[in-house]
Amino acid sequence: MSRIPRYQVIYEDLSSQISSGALAPDVQLPSEADLAQRYGVSRMTVRQAVRQLQDEHLLVRRRGSGTFVTRPSAQRRRLNRLGSFAQEMGTDETRVRTELRARETTVASEEAREHLGLPAGRETIRIERLRLIDDRPAALQVSWLPYALVPLLARVELTGGSLYRTIREHYGLRLSWADMEVSATAATAEQARVLAVRRGGPLIASVRITHDESSTAVEYARSWTRPEFPLSIRLEG
């Protein structure tokens, strides 16, 4: 397993504190020197983590004043970066709850093999989760991951309930980019029951293939989201 870069560890920790409210909006971030001492790293490493948080609009630098946590209105749902479900939905981690509906090791289906680039007979880890916001069903998500990349994930507790964080911290995989397709669909009977919508009602369907730095497919995921939680895509030049 490869070692996780120190700046990524700092980024994950600060991002989690912002999402949980431990670092509240408008709170000033400690200085680079203080953070470097706290994490036992160089100021350059701290700067790299802070820059990533600024790129995601979680922090803002105010000339002559320092670096501050942005207000929730600025923390827009961003689909051009990989983050937690709460970050993608532009909401606080404390409002999000996850129900693990299934987690199993299974032989890859033809569909999963095609998206993950696996030969016949290979195993995958299948994880099915229901995401709730303020205890209201928001999205049903099913993920398939190559067993060879994340062995025994079916038995590993998800760090902070986050699949991506577990992949990074437990297996040392660095997620780099993802392709995502979004479409409208009608709720099946099972989806309607789980998401508390009417059968045949509108849902936002998405398919995402997430890759690591070597462009290896790490996750094939399908999601069905209630339409009151719309996608908001920001493109930057």
Q: For position 15, what pLDDT does the model report?
A: 83
Instruction: Please tell me the total count of domains within the chain.
Output: 2
* Range list of β-strands (E), the chain: 59-62, 66-69, 96-107, 123-133, 136-146, 175-186, 202-212, 217-225
Q: How confident is the model at residue 82 (pLDDT cuts 50, 70, 90)?
A: low
Q: Specify whether 103 is located in the same domain as 45.
A: no
pLDDT at 237 over 50: no
Task: Please tell me whether residues 69 and 96 are part of one structural domain.
Answer: no
- Domain assignment present for residue 213? The answer is yes
Q: What is the mean pLDDT of residues 136-143?
A: 93
In this structure, are residues 224 and 139 in contact, taking their beta carbons and an 8 Å threshold? yes
Whether residues 159 and 188 share a domain: the answer is yes
pLDDT-derived band at 84, boundaries 50, 70, 90: low
Phi, psi angles (nearest 5°) of residue 191 = -65, -40
Confidence tier at 223 by pLDDT (50, 70, 90): very high
- Residue span of the structural domain in which 51 resides: 6-74
Would you say residue 78 has pLDDT above 50?
no
- What pLDDT band is residue 29 in, cutting at 50, 70 and 90? very high
Looking at the structure, do residues 69 and 95 belong to the same domain, yes or no? no
From 74, 105, 129, give the residue that closes a domain: 74
Which of 74, 109, 133 terminates a domain? The answer is: 74
- The CB density around residue 65, as the number of other CB atoms within 10 Å, is 8
Give CA torsion, residues 3, 4, 9, 11, to 10 deg.
160
Tell me, yes or no, whether 187 and 116 share the same domain: yes
Mean pLDDT of the chain: 84
Q: Name the most confidently modeled range: 157-161, 185-189, 232-236.
A: 185-189
**pLDDT > 70 in the chain, percent:** 84
User: Which residue in this structure is represented by tokens 């998500």?
Assistant: 141
- Which has the closest alpha carbon to 220: 152, 143, 165? 143
In a domain, 233, yes or no: no
Range ranked top by mean pLDDT from 12-16, 53-57, 64-68: 64-68
Q: Does some domain include residue 234?
A: no
Q: Are 28 and 38 in contact (CB under 8 A)?
A: no
- In this prediction, residues 177-193 reach a mean pLDDT of 92
Tell me, yes or no, whether 48 and 135 share the same domain.
no
pLDDT category, 89, cuts 50, 70, 90? low
Q: How confident is the model over 93-118, as a mean pLDDT?
A: 88
How sure is the predictor about 77, in pLDDT bands with cuts at 50, 70 and 90? very low
pTM over 0.75, yes/no: no
pLDDT in tens, 61-72: 888 889 999 876
